[in-house]
Amino acid sequence: MQPMAIEDGYFHLGGASVSDTCLAAVFVGAESPLELQEFKIPDVKPGNILIKMNMAAVCGTDAHNWYNPEAPNPIIWGHENIGQIAKLGSQAKRDILGMPLHEGDRVLFHSAPCGHCYNCIMSLRCTNSIHYGNSKVDRNSDTMLRGGFGEYMLLDPDPAIIRVPDEMSTERALMSVIGNHTVMGGLRKIDGPTQGDTVVVQGVGPIGMGALIQSNVRGAAAVIMIGGPSHRLDLAKELGATQVIDIHEYPTPEARIRRVKELTGAGPDLVIEASGAKTSVHEGLQMVRYGGKYLVIGLILPTSVEMDPSAIAAKDLIVAGVVGSKVENIIRSMRVMQSRIDVPIEKMITHQYPLANVNEALQSHVDLSAMVPVVNHTLS
Ligand SMILES: [Zn+2]
Ligand SMILES: [Zn+2]
């Protein structure tokens, strides 16, 4: 048997048995296709857990970084993940809820908060720990397998791991970490909508749909969705939207503001920005009623824009933003997905690709042909 060769920091098959290695799609630089490379599957130390991936979603962050010359590489993307436990370290026995873990269990997972940074102490989202699928790691170390676009992932000791109930579909479980957990954190922070409130959501992508679903869970009386194209608006209606405003029919901010006022009178109680469009905040602040709330989620990339912030004070508004998610909201999101959401949320996963076609998955996000494209590791 030939020895395993290491070239450029990567392990390559040299006659070693296939079970010692796995494939992963590596981002090697802006505007280059992700490369399928072979990696040695590392030893599972007492605190580690080895995950065999089931499904990983392509997120807007990945699509953005694909064109970003500053994006760190090499890196294995895939941060919205569900997988099965392939191997449990001897000390990894229970999930975060205290449920016993077994090899073969399906799980959601997230890096655990570090517990000692300022954010952790103040009960904020820890920004001091590695984020699977987002953080660059040493290409020569065992820890390269940290993204969902690989067949296997190695979790650090003491990960935040949540066992997925057997009766829950893989697609539904995955949706609890696509938009819904972030939106849930934002709605809890802004303390809205209150039961009976009217909500307007700007944007009908995965975050906007999460805003729709979570607003309805909180008891909104009506949720009006603004966006396009029409097939996304049709899905929004199926997922519980009361009204939709097509941006092709209402192409200017003035027309949309007028339409929102026609539908709501004084304006909605809560407006949620989930579009990432740079003019959306200026527009949304004009829609919301006096004394209302405005939550910014989609617009997280640096931009500059002319806007009038006077409405924040003049209309006595509460304004908040949110990014990412605390582990707490992943747990809550999955439980709500299991018990409270009776719309066909699985339909948001419109395209499934085998790992070998990961570049097509990315492309389908870039050209907006897919709502949520996923790499399904069980396809070949
Ligand atoms: Zn994401
Ligand atoms: Zn921390």
Instruction: Report the b/e string of 85-97 with b at 16+ CB within 10 A.
Output: bbbbbeebeebbe
| Closest ligand to residue 148's CA | 1
Question: Ligand nearest 120 Cα, by number?
Answer: 2
pLDDT at 39 over 70: yes
- Other C-beta atoms within 10 Å of 248: how many? 10
User: How much is the pTM?
Assistant: 0.91
**Cα 143 to ligand 2 centroid, rounded to whole Å:** 20
For ligand 2, the distance from its centroid to the CA atom of residue 158, given in whole angstroms, is 14
The CA 295 to ligand 2 mean position distance, Å, reads: 24
Specify the pLDDT at position 248. Answer: 98
Side-chain half-sphere CA neighbours of 312 within 13 A: 10
User: What pLDDT does 26 receive?
Assistant: 94
Question: How much distance in Å is there from the Cα of 372 to the middle of ligand 1?
Answer: 11
Q: Which of 107, 33, 27 is nearest to 61 (CA)?
A: 27
Q: How much distance in Å is there from the Cα of 127 to the middle of ligand 2?
A: 6
Whether the pLDDT of residue 194 is over 80: the answer is yes
Tell me how far the alpha carbon of residue 80 lies from the centroid of ligand 1, in angstroms: 6
| Over residues 242-264, mean pLDDT | 98
- What's the whole-number average pLDDT of the chain? 92
Point out the domain boundary residue: 306, 321, 336: 321
Same domain? For 232 and 96 the reply is no
Do 145 and 272 fall within a single domain? no
Same domain for 16 and 57, yes or no, is: yes
* Residue 331 Cα distances to 219, 337, 340, angstroms: 20, 10, 14
CATH of the domain at 351: 3.90.180.10
> What is the total count of domains within the chain?
2
Q: Which ligand is nearest to the CA of 132?
A: 1
State which residues form the domain around 41: 5-177+326-376
Cα separation, 81 vs 38, in Å, equals: 20
* 325 alpha carbon, closest ligand: 1
286 and 332, same structural domain?
Answer: no
Question: Does residue 140 share a domain with residue 10?
Answer: yes
* Ligand closest in space to the Cα of 133: 1
User: Is the peptide bond prior to 74 cis by the omega test (within 30 degrees of 0)?
Assistant: yes
56 plus 73 within the same structural domain? yes
Domain end, chosen from 279, 304, 321, is at: 321
Task: Check whether 13 has a pLDDT greater than 90.
Answer: no
- Taking the centre of ligand 2 as the mean of its atom positions, its distance from the CA of residue 133, in whole angstroms, is 18
Ligand nearest to the CA of 119: 2
**Which tens digit of pLDDT belongs to each residue from 211-228?**
999 999 999 999 999 999
201 lies in the same domain as 283: yes
Poorest-confidence range of 14-18, 67-71, 292-296, 305-309?
A: 14-18
Angle between helices 206-217 and 230-238 (to 10 degrees): 20
Pair 172, 259 in one domain: no
Whether residue 71 is found in the same domain as residue 187? no
Structure-token match 């392990």, residue found: 11
Read off the pLDDT band of 169 (50, 70, 90): very high
Has residue 153 got a pLDDT over 60? Answer: yes
Distance from the CA of 325 to the center of ligand 2, in angstroms?
13
User: 58 and 170 share a domain?
Assistant: yes
Q: Does 289 lie in the same domain as 339?
A: no
Instruction: Give the integer Cα–Cα distance in Å for 307 and 244.
Output: 25
For ligand 1, the distance from its centroid to the CA atom of residue 59, given in whole angstroms, is 5
CA of 48 to the centre of ligand 2 (A): 19
Q: What is the CATH number of the domain that holds 284?
A: 3.40.50.720
In terms of domains, do 152 and 56 share one?
yes
Cα(123) to centroid(ligand 2), Å: 9
What would the mean pLDDT of 136-154 be, rounded to a whole number?
Answer: 83
